Amino acid sequence: MFRIVVSRISCIHKNPEIRLISRIHVMASVEERKISAIVGALVADAAAQPIHWNYKTADLDAFLKDKDEVAFLEPSRNPFYCIKTGKHSCYGDQSRTILKSLVENGGVNIEKLKKSMFEMFGPDSEYENEDNATYKDKSDVVKKVYPINTPWRHASIKSFLKNYSEGAEITGIEDNQMDCVINMISVVALYAGRPEMLDKVEEIISVTQNSDINVAVAFTAARLLEYFILHGKTPGLDALNSVLEEMKNPQRRSPQDLDKAMIGHMKKVIEEMETDHVTAARKFNIT
């Protein structure tokens, strides 16, 4: 199954306008839902890349107001980096590298994954260039003229490359960003329904991100994705409520100190289910 997914993703990269999402609603089996999760996430990353990191939402709204289609936008409206439409962001490239490693190694192999990550983002990759090298700290970012005409290599990847090249055993850093959610998708698809699923998620995300909050967020997202993969679309809030109950269970798999906080955040999100996305996101201070 995973080799089929890699084949489909390769097709997307060559032909970013292909619309696979229209088929998802007819998919019913567990295997097809696994494929949908992986392909959907990677297509979405490529589709959104040209408008990635637009923090001045009023300016973006004004630009998009007359657009019938915002996916795979051309020309790019990305304020930080400008690359060809259809290519993945650094997040998508991480996720695709993890997927490829899982396929090639028949599951999680951390040392081989680290090697693949280094090859994907390191000195012999398209990410290695003068513009990316300039960004060593926040002061350098402020001085640089945007957007750069190259893929953007962000903090956790830079730190991973440094730690890996120096032979460090722990390559991940405390980087409380959403990479952890993207990076767990193909892992959950492979291990859904198996008792080691969360342990494998932690192994994978710790390659680049190594903090308690990353693990807690990734586990919460992984539980939700696993529920949908195993059960399909269910009425109302069944998935959220099921995960909430699981996280309250003293006998739950892989308990985390931050699980109680994650339960509280999920309950607040449920309270805003009828609120439009933009308003809700601003209420939670999400940029």
Average pLDDT score, the chain: 87
pLDDT in tens, 11-48: 444 554 444 444 444 556 999 999 999 999 999 999 99
pTM, 2 dp: 0.86
Backbone dihedral region for residue 78 (phi beyond 0: left; psi -120 to 50: alpha; all else: beta): beta
Does the pLDDT value for residue 3 go beyond 70? Answer: no
CA dist 8 and 77 (Å) reads 27
Say which range, 9-13, 173-177, 260-264, has the weakest mean pLDDT: 9-13
Which residues, 6+ apart, have CB-to-CB distance to 150 below 8 Å? 81, 83, 126, 127, 129, 131, 132
In terms of Cβ atoms closer than 10 Å to its own Cβ (0-12, 13-18, 19+), residue 279 is exposed
Which residues, 6+ apart, have CB-to-CB distance to 74 below 8 Å? 50, 85
Give the end-to-end CA distance of the chain in Å, rounded to a whole number.
36
pLDDT in tens, 48-101: 999 999 988 889 889 999 898 999 999 899 999 999 999 999 999 999 999 999
State residue 287's pLDDT score. 45
State residue 6's pLDDT score. 47
How long a stretch of residues is the chain? 287
Does the pLDDT value for residue 105 go beyond 50? Answer: yes
3-class secondary structure, 51: helix
